[in-house]
Amino acid sequence: MERGSGNFCGVWFETLTRRRFLWLGVSAAAVLAGCGGRADAPPAAPAPDDRRYGFFFDSTRCTACGTCRQECQRENGLAPELALIRFNVVKAGAENRLVWRQTCLHCTSAACVKECRDGATVRGASGLTNFYREKCTACGDCAEVCPFGVPVLAGSRGSKGRDRLLLRCTGCPDRVGSGQDTACVTSCPYGALLGGPRAALWVTATQRLEEARREIAGARLYGPGIYGGLGVISLLAAESRRYGLPAG
């Protein structure tokens, strides 16, 4: 199966390789169901004593200003054109828009961790998916299996190995391991991104959801119920399919 691009249900996509298609069969079915109007399932709350580090992303507050991306690049010593965080902005009516922050969602059942042959992508002690660039050979296997299309290979088309650079969130293992928040969390000026123990973040997320529903009827939480539970709890303003995400 060759790569290409197209438009399906109003969302642009990259045609999957055969390998990635086999990995993502369940996700593809979820997207197809979503296009037919399937609603997201109610998310399951993390255990009350879940102290794994996680994130809460409030898409209703995010302006896609790029401050978190800039701080992430500074923290990782990356050039401006090499971004570990991307933003997808979808028009939703004449005045409204949906903002999605495209970066690692730290799946508990992470296909990238299972697939990595070099030990570069691992489950960290904090509960986040950690990436160690010095071990990465840029084989692209993790990019093939990620259901959210997060890892990106930068470099000349057709180049291999060290001629390419894999761009993906590192999980800031040194910062989190020493009790600090990740670089992106500390830089958000709008309170759209928070970090901390997942049980505590769930409390904040449910409070924010209640506030959001006073103005946004379609507001919902996304993440805890898919891929073993995402390490990022997200507050969405509409169904996940409107953001181009698998049903969750």
CA dist 221 and 90 (Å) reads 18
Q: CATH fold of 5-243, please?
A: Alpha-Beta Plaits (3.30.70)
Q: What digits encode the pLDDT tens for the residues 36-58?
A: 444 566 667 778 788 999 999 99
| Amino acid letter, residue 197 | P
Q: What digits encode the pLDDT tens for the residues 118-140?
A: 999 999 999 999 999 999 999 99
- Listed in sequence order, the residues at least 6 apart from 100 whose beta carbon sits closer than 8 Å to its beta carbon are 59, 87, 88, 89, 90, 243, 244, 245
User: Between 170 and 28, where is the model more confident?
Assistant: 170
At 153 the three-state DSSP class reads strand
Q: What digits encode the pLDDT tens for the residues 60-108?
A: 999 999 999 999 999 999 998 899 999 999 876 656 789 999 999 999 9
Region 139-146: mean pLDDT is 95
**Residue 179 confidence (pLDDT):** 96
Range of lowest pLDDT (76-80, 148-152, 158-162): 158-162
Burial label, 96 (beta-carbon count in 10 A; 0-12, 13-18, 19+): exposed
Domain map of the chain by residue range? 5-243
**Residue 237 confidence (pLDDT):** 95
Q: What digits encode the pLDDT tens for the residues 20-36?
A: 444 444 344 433 333 34
- pTM for the full model? 0.81
Compute the mean pLDDT over every residue in the chain, rounded to the nearest whole number: 83
Phi, psi of 228 (to 5 degrees): 75, 0
**Residue 95 confidence (pLDDT):** 60
134-161 per-residue burial string, b: 16 or more CB within 10 A, e: under 16: eebebbebbbbbbbbebbbbeeeeeeee
Count, in order, helices (H) and strands (E) of the chain: 8, 12
Q: At which residue do the structure tokens 């939480």 appear?
A: 221
CA dist 64 and 86 (Å) reads 9
Q: Which of 221, 11, 30, 228 is nearest to 110 (CA)?
A: 228
**Residue 49 confidence (pLDDT):** 81
